[in-house]
Structure 1
Amino acid sequence: MVHLADGVLLLSIQRLKGERSERSLFHVLNGKRSATTLQDAFFYDLEPIFGLFPYTKYDYEKLLASFEKRGWLNRSSFTLTEAGSMLASPEAVSDLFDRLGGEYRDYTTMTWKRLSLFVQTFMSLEHERTFYPVQADRLAERWVKQIVRTEREWRPLIQSFHHELETALEDIGDPYATAVVYRFTGAFETGYTYEQIAALLDVDARTARLYFLAGWNALLWKLPRDAKLLGFAHGLSSERMTLSARGSYEQFLAGRSFQQVQSQRRLRTSTIEDHVVEMAMYLDEFPLDQFVPLEQIKQVEQLRDESSWALKPIFEQIDGISYYQIRLVFARLKRGETFV
């Protein structure tokens, strides 16, 4: 049987267009915070699944082997067959894929851990019941303990949480809302497993998990800015730029040159270059012409195949340009800028 979860993974392979390797996708699925993996996710529209499929190498190999055996994948070129492309093409697959929220890194995950643990804790205390924490995360446990210890009348706040959740769940609709609701644990009822949710929704457990991830991500962004529930995201960042790149960016903002930033931070040239590429990828405004001559910028745009983000064909056609500079131009082109 073919499930939506299979379609999501096939779509991720399709989006790579045969330009990246099996290993590249493996690192995206596991959320590796390397420059190469971040760039793969950015250029090939894989950010929604970033870090959401933490496969072991064994399980990943098993998955690809099954896709090949079923006639969906050509592993020698790491491209889909016609049958695989058909399974990756339905709107339901791309809709689920793009809702998953992996681009927000740990923001959505930790917010869920905090809220779900708080709900369990509050309900158990209200009914004077002992419990085993639903989240085995020390940071989340510490955060909830600190909140619960503060002297506060929680009942009115719980009512506000309930109202905000109810409104947002109505907006996102099923099957996403159902997957989120049934994951909560209270004083007397334990949150459903993905297998139990799958039975409710008549899907497989992997798809049920994706419905939950997509639903929770969508719910967070449906909340108004003044929502009390967003207090559970306090101190968390949804920024895509890595902390290391952010450190270099702040140095540049202070007026330091590339060489000064490298000296100050005691990092390799290639590392600072990777940070600059991140800036080009994620910043709304970026002074591209400070890093690449305008004539070369135009050449890259003119020579690039619109269906490809491959660096080598460009590198081989332009004298004196580096892969680093091509990535910078690509980043701004990906963001919709044009220079020709």
Structure 2
Amino acid sequence: MLQHIVLFCIDRFRGERSIAAIDHLLNGKKTAQTLQDSKWYNVSRLFGTVPIDRSRLLHVARQLEANGWIYEVDEHIYRITSSGKEELRYFVFPPHVDGWKYMNESSLFWKRFSLLIQTVTNVIYRTPFEPVHRDERIQSFVKRWLFQHKHMQALVRSLYEEMYGLLSRVEEKEANIFVWRLTTRDRIGWTNEQIAYAIKEEDVAVWLSFQNVLHFILGTIEKEKETFPLLYSLREQKQIPLTTSAKKTWDLLKKGYGLEQIAQLRRLKKGTIEDHIVEIATYVPSFVTTPFLEENKRKRIIQQAYQLQTNKLRAIKEALPDVSYFEIRLALARWEKEDV
């Protein structure tokens, strides 16, 4: 599984990004560059889905190269071969995994849900227990949530029915992986590595199976709130995935300040504010780019990027010397398929 994920990323990056970029993508590093790359290269579903160290990625790259599926074009920068393309035809990514969509809520939902399950299965039998999550915010949330649902027997029954209804819609093996992670009165939840060892599967495959179920649950309870009211109430309100500094710039833009004014107010370089504007354009659908980019220029940039089949700023800049790098980045941030 991991080999195919790395191969997929190398194919999408087209020799324009290094193994470091794949590392940042899979680990969900929330830098402006990684956030933009995940959208530009259409790999956003992978964002933050495979926590992995750089040395293991480099080892996988060497394996792919030995298999003849990729070749190195520069230090730690690869392109896919025709046999690599053929190999990718057999790769099926878990259908519900969407790291981008659930980056701000999947971990929080899991912590709330897993602590809730541990709590109710112990409280109903009046059994003392050590919480699986020590985060006081998680513990406080679960306490408040339970205070609002005082009839414990009915609550446990309803929770079971909602979870059974969801897990019956996924493959049995994946449902088991999800349940094995849970700690209850009778058992301690298994780690990802313990599950992988028990079922003799790659740890990455097991982790993605767990993520697949978790993201399926989040997506389903969003669409079917009335059917799964208890689980839906554990969700956190969605937030726009901007870096902290970009959020401050966005607040000033909404107040009517211009680029130069914001740079002066925040005592930051103009280029830094431009980075923020590109980030905002990438993630905020309502953001209007025309004050910073003429529509005619935007169309020319997109057309050139499509013709060159690249997101490399330098290549587009050489073809369009009258546009700035900032304008190119801003156009690419809003590149939609219907543009070409």
**TM band (smaller chain):** 0.7 to 0.9
Identity %: 28
Q: Between Structure 1 and Structure 2, how many residues are aligned? A: 332
Q: Does the CA contact (< 8 Å) of 1:13 and 1:80 recur in 2?
A: yes
Q: Paired residue for 1:88?
A: 88
Q: Does the CA contact (< 8 Å) of 2:70 and 2:81 recur in 1?
A: yes
Give, in angstroms, the shift of residue 147 of structure 1: 4.2
CA distance in 2, matches of 1:71, 1:143: 51
Task: Choose 99-108 or 321-330, whichever is displaced more.
Answer: 99-108
Q: Does the CA contact (< 8 Å) of 1:41 and 1:47 recur in 2?
A: yes
1:170-181 mapped onto 2 (5 Å cutoff): 170-181=168-179
1:299 and 2:296 are equivalent in the alignment: no
Q: Does the CA contact (< 8 Å) of 1:104 and 1:240 recur in 2?
A: no
Give, in angstroms, the shift of residue 207 of structure 1: 0.4
Distance 1:71 1:280, change over 3 A: same
Distance 1:143 1:219, change over 3 A: same
Q: Paired residue for 2:290?
A: 289
Task: Choose 163-172 or 39-48, whichever is displaced more.
Answer: 163-172
Distance 1:102 1:182, change over 3 A: farther
Q: Paired residue for 2:203?
A: 205
Root-mean-square deviation (CA), in Å?
A: 2.8
User: For 1:255-312, what per-residue CA distance to the aligned partner results, in whole angstroms no more than 9, with x for missing partners?
Assistant: 2222233333343322221221122212324433221233322321232235322221
Task: Choose 140-149 or 225-234, whichever is displaced more.
Answer: 140-149
1:128-143 mapped onto 2 (5 Å cutoff): 128-135=126-133, 137-143=135-141
Q: 1:62 aligns with which of 55, 59, 62?
A: 59
TM-score (normalised: structure 1): 0.85
CA distance in 2, matches of 1:81, 1:139: 49
Q: 2:24 aligns with which of 27, 37, 48?
A: 27
Q: Paired residue for 1:53?
A: 50
Q: Does the CA contact (< 8 Å) of 1:175 and 1:201 recur in 2?
A: no
User: For 1:200-222, what per-residue CA distance to the aligned partner results, in whole angstroms no more than 9, with x for missing partners?
Assistant: 76632320111111110111110
CA distance in 2, matches of 1:157, 1:265: 50
Q: Paired residue for 1:78?
A: 78
Task: Choose 166-175 or 46-55, whichever is displaced more.
Answer: 166-175
Give, in angstroms, the shift of residue 143 of structure 1: 3.3
User: For 1:166-196, what per-residue CA distance to the aligned partner results, in whole angstroms no more than 9, with x for missing partners?
Assistant: 2222334444333223322210022234355
Distance 1:59 1:205, change over 3 A: closer
Give, in angstroms, the shift of residue 13 of structure 1: 1.8
CA distance in 2, matches of 1:171, 1:248: 43
1:157 and 2:159 are equivalent in the alignment: no
5+ residue gaps in structure 1?
Answer: none
State the AA in 1 paired with 2:334.
R
Distance 1:266 1:159, change over 3 A: farther
- Three-state SS of the structure 2 residue aligned to 1:270 is helix
Distance 1:204 1:58, change over 3 A: closer
Q: Does the CA contact (< 8 Å) of 1:114 and 1:144 recur in 2?
A: yes
CA distance in 2, matches of 1:92, 1:60: 20
Q: Paired residue for 1:119?
A: 117
Give, in angstroms, the shift of residue 98 of structure 1: 6.3
Distance 1:281 1:45, change over 3 A: same
5+ residue gaps in structure 2?
Answer: none
Distance 1:181 1:248, change over 3 A: same
Give, in angstroms, the shift of residue 124 of structure 1: 1.7
